[in-house]
C-alpha cells in the first residue's frame, strides 16, 4: 500500500513537472513572437539604431513598399572601402525591413555586365560607375516602388554622404509611403528662393539650402506677406521672420491656426538677410 502511495506521488510530481515545462515553452514562444524583430546595436555610434522620426515614417506605411538594392560585388573587390560601406547600407536596410513589420520588402541584386538586372538598374535611373579602363560598369544604388508604381531612387551611395545615410533612406521611404506631398505656404519678405536683384543683373537666382531641401519633401507655394486669407490648398503655413504684417494678414493667420491649421514661425532678431 505504501509502495502504491509513493508511486502515485512520483507520478503526480512528474505530471506537474511536465505541465510546468509546457507553460514555460508557451511563455517563451509568446515572448519570442513579441520581440522577434528586436535587434541589439552594439556600435558606439548607434549606427543601426533607427531614429524616432524614421520609426514614425515606417509606421505610416499603409501599402507595401519594395526596395531594390543594386550592388556590384566587383566594386567591393576593387575598392574594399566600398565593400564595407555596402555592408553597412545592407544591414541598415535590414533594420528598416524589421521595423516596418511586413510593409517593407527588400530585394538585393548583383548586376552583371549585359544582364537583365543591369538593364533594369539603368531603367530605374541608377548611376553606373566605370570600374576599369575596359569600361566595365558597376552599381551601388537603391530603387524603391510602391503599389501605385511611384518610383524613388538613390542613384549612387556616395561615402561622402554616409553621415546622412538614414536621412536619405527615410526620405525615399517617406516619398513612397506618402506620395501626396504636403503643400507648404511660404510667407516671408526674405530672399529665401533667390536674390531677385542678382537675377536682374544676369546672375543665377539660386534658392537657399533650406528651400532646396524642403522641396525634396514638400511642395512650396509662395503666398507673400499681404494675403487676407490662407489659400485652401495650404497644409502648413511657414512664416519666416515676418515683419510689419498688415492687420488683414495677421487676422488670416489667426483664423488659419484657430481652425486647426499648422504653422511654422521662424524669427531671427539678428537676421542678416533683411
DSSP label at residue 49: P
Higher pLDDT, residue 142 or 25: 142
Query: Could you give the percent of the chain with pLDDT greater than 90?
Result: 58
What is the spatial distance between Cα 10 and Cα 2, in angstroms, rounded to a whole number? 12
Q: C-alpha grid cell for residue 30?
A: 509568446
As a whole number, mean pLDDT of residues 43-51 equals 65
Return mean pLDDT, the chain: 84
Partners of residue 68 on adjacent β-strands = 107, 143
Q: C-alpha grid cell for residue 173?
A: 521611404
The C-alpha cell 498688415 sits at 246
Q: What's the CATH number for 52-177?
A: 3.40.30.10
What confidence score (pLDDT) does residue 41 get? 46
Instruction: Tell me if 174 sits within 8 A of 217, measured CB to CB.
Output: yes
Using alpha carbons, list the distances in angstroms from residue 209 to 83, 193, 197, 214, 216: 31, 9, 19, 9, 11
User: Using one digit for the tens of pLDDT, what is the confidence trace for 141-157?
Assistant: 999 999 989 999 999 99
3-state SS class at 261: coil
What is the spatial distance between Cα 188 and Cα 214, in angstroms, rounded to a whole number? 15
- Residue spans of the domains in the chain: they are 1-36, 52-177, 182-266
Question: Tell me, which fold does domain 182-266 have in CATH?
Answer: Rossmann fold (3.40.50)
pLDDT category at 71 given cuts 50, 70, 90 is very high
pLDDT at 2 over 70: no
Partners of residue 106 on adjacent β-strands = 67
Of 45-54, 56-65, 254-263, the least confident: 45-54
Q: What's the pTM? A: 0.68
Using alpha carbons, list the distances in angstroms from residue 258 to 237, 249, 262: 13, 14, 9
Outline where DSSP puts E strands in 29-132: 65-71, 104-109, 129-130
Amino acid at each position: 500500500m505504501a509502495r502504491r502511495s509513493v508511486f502515485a506521488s512520483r507520478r503526480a510530481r512528474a505530471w506537474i513537472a511536465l505541465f510546468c515545462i509546457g507553460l514555460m515553452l508557451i511563455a517563451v514562444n509568446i515572448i519570442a513572437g513579441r520581440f522577434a524583430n528586436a535587434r541589439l546595436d552594439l556600435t558606439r555610434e548607434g549606427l543601426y539604431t533607427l531614429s524616432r522620426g524614421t520609426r514614425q515614417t515606417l509606421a505610416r506605411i499603409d501599402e507595401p513598399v519594395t526596395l531594390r538594392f543594386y550592388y556590384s560585388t566587383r566594386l567591393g573587390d576593387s575598392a574594399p572601402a566600398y565593400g564595407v560601406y555596402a555592408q553597412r547600407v545592407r544591414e541598415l536596410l535590414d533594420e528598416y525591413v524589421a521595423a516596418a513589420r511586413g510593409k517593407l520588402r527588400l530585394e538585393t541584386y548583383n548586376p552583371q555586365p549585359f544582364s537583365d538586372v543591369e538593364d533594369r538598374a539603368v531603367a530605374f535611373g541608377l548611376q553606373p560607375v566605370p570600374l576599369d579602363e575596359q569600361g566595365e560598369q558597376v552599381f551601388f544604388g537603391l530603387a524603391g516602388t510602391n503599389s501605385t508604381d511611384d518610383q524613388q531612387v538613390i542613384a549612387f551611395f556616395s561615402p561622402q554622404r554616409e553621415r546622412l545615410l538614414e536621412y536619405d533612406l527615410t526620405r525615399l521611404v517617406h516619398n513612397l509611403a506618402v506620395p501626396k506631398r504636403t503643400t507648404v505656404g511660404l510667407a516671408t519678405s526674405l530672399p529665401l528662393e533667390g536674390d531677385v536683384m542678382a537675377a536682374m543683373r544676369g546672375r543665377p537666382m539660386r534658392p537657399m539650402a533650406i528651400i532646396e531641401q524642403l522641396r525634396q519633401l514638400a511642395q512650396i507655394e509662395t503666398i507673400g506677406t499681404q494675403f487676407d486669407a490662407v489659400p485652401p490648398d495650404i497644409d502648413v503655413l511657414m512664416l519666416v521672420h515676418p515683419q510689419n504684417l498688415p492687420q488683414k494678414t495677421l487676422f488670416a493667420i489667426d483664423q488659419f491656426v484657430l481652425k486647426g491649421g499648422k504653422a511654422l514661425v521662424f524669427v531671427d532678431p539678428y537676421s542678416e538677410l533683411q
